[in-house]
Amino acid sequence: MKPVWTSMATAMTVLAIVLGLTSCANSSNDANTIIVYNAQHESLTREWIDAFTAETGIEVTLRQGSDTALANQLVAEGAASPADIFLTENSPAMMLVENAGLFADVDPRTLDQVPTRFRPSTGKWTGIAARSTVLVYNKSEIPADQLPVSLLDLAQPQWKGRWGAGVSGADFQAIVAGLLALKGEETTRAWLQGMKENATAFPNNVATMKAVDSGSPEAGVIYHYYWYRDQANTKENSADTALHYFRNQDPGAFVSISGGGVLASSDNQPAAQKLLAFITGMSGQTVLRDGSSMEYPVASTVAANPALVPLADLQAPAIDPSRLDSRKVTQLMTDAGLL
């Protein structure tokens, strides 16, 4: 038996060395590997990093999570975080990390690729994509001339039991943050109270759209790309629905900016800055136009997918993303009994 144990011990030693080398190669100490904390849709970020790795040879490891979970994790980890770069679906999570002082300055050449309205004035992170708030509605249930004029209308008694949203998700909470920034605390509290009376809570945007497609409720507040993705595929969750754009700088025309920022604690900042430059550059933004995400490009003058309503036609309210306050939103939604 002894020789067997000896050779097993040898094999395990070899294995340990190999694993040690592998984990070393995956650490952010390696100049050719970076770690992304990714809260954007994994499919979109994979499209970006596959093209980035092909172009630069820099390997990317994704750690997937939600906006809120990963932002809180970064704040908890502080300078000890293994992350080199943080990508989100919405701006409030970027502000949490920025306010904790954890971001390095974004390379000025990257900022030059992004119009000022799609990034905070601090230069600590940048917009990488955008998504529009929309009302998805069931065409058989609501005639087009009876659609609400404003998002605020949905808090009125005539909308009781007739709409829903993915209340607990970062997507919907960004919309509430936009409302708070535009109209202030009093109006937001009143609207959330009306929502508690009127709306059904769904786990996410897709579940909301699916329910609207079946006719109950009649409408839902979601982001545009969930509908366009379904329309581009089987239409199984949206065939009986259409989108209503509130326009007119209404809170319901809020355009949410997905963000990217380099962590100050990253020991591989040049490679992390390179990824952010790539995502906001022509190649990265073209992924948004030609890929399957259906989100809007925001940089390098790349136009949107022609299936979408052009961003310039949405009449979105102008909101500095640095004014979006996720903690206050959580508090107000909790007070209203929505969370």
Encoded amino acid at 125, one letter = W
Nearer to Fe ion, 33 or 258 (CB): 258
Residue 89: CB minimum distance to Fe ion, A: 5
Whole-angstrom distance, CA of residue 45 vs CA of residue 68: 18
Q: How far is the CB of 222 from Fe ion (least distance, A)?
A: 9
Give the separation between CA 237 and CA 221, rounded to whole angstroms: 15
Cβ closest to Fe ion, residue 171 vs residue 325: 171
Closer residue to Fe ion, CB minimum distance, 129 or 332: 129
Which one-letter amino acid corresponds to residue 232?
A
Place of tokens 């022609």: 306
Q: What is the C-alpha to C-alpha distance for residues 35 and 275, in angstroms, rounded to an integer?
A: 11
- Residue 111 or 222: which CB sits closer to Fe ion? 222
At 302 the three-state DSSP class reads: coil
- Residue 230 token pair: 């379904």
CB of residue 200 to Fe ion, shortest distance in Å: 19
Closest contact distance (angstroms) between CB of 205 and Fe ion is 6
Within residues 158-217, the interface with Fe ion by CB under 5 A covers 171
The pair of structure tokens assigned to 244 is 């209503």
Residue with Cβ nearer Fe ion (190 or 309): 309
Site map 49..88 versus Fe ion, x via CB under 5 A: ----------------------------------------
Site for Fe ion in 218-277 (CB under 5 A): none
CB of 81 to Fe ion, least distance (A): 24
User: Other CB atoms closer than 10 Å to residue 80's CB: what's the count?
Assistant: 7
Cβ proximity of 63 and 86 under 8 Å: no
130: β partners: 257, 296
Could you please report the per-residue DSSP string of 19-50? HHHHHHHHSTTSTTEEEEEE-S-HHHHHHHHH
Q: Residue 62: what residue type?
A: L
**Smallest distance from Fe ion to CB 90, Å:** 8
Count CA within 13 A, CB hemisphere, residue 139: 6
CB of residue 170 to Fe ion, shortest distance in Å: 8
Closer residue to Fe ion (CB): 38 or 273? 38
Q: Which is nearer to Fe ion, 133 or 322 (CB)?
A: 133
Site size for Fe ion, by CB under 5 A? 1
As a whole number of angstroms, the distance between CA 3 and CA 33 comes to 40
The residue number whose beta carbon is nearest to Fe ion equals 171
Closest approach of Fe ion to the CB of residue 296, in Å: 13
Q: Cα-flanking dihedrals φ and ψ of residue 269, to 5°?
A: -60, -40
Q: Which is nearer to Fe ion, 90 or 198 (CB)?
A: 90
Cα–Cα separations (whole angstroms), residue 231 to 40, 90, 110, 255, 258: 21, 23, 33, 21, 23
- Distance CA(169)–CA(162), nearest Å, equals 20
Residue closer to Fe ion by CB (options 40, 268) is 40
In the complex, the smallest distance separating the C-beta of residue 130 from Fe ion, rounded to whole angstroms, is: 12
Cα-Cα-Cα-Cα dihedral sign, residues 120, 125, 126, 128: negative
Query: What does the per-residue mask of binding to Fe ion show for 117-156, with x meaning CB under 5 A?
Result: ----------------------------------------
Chain residues in the site for Fe ion (CB under 5 A): 171
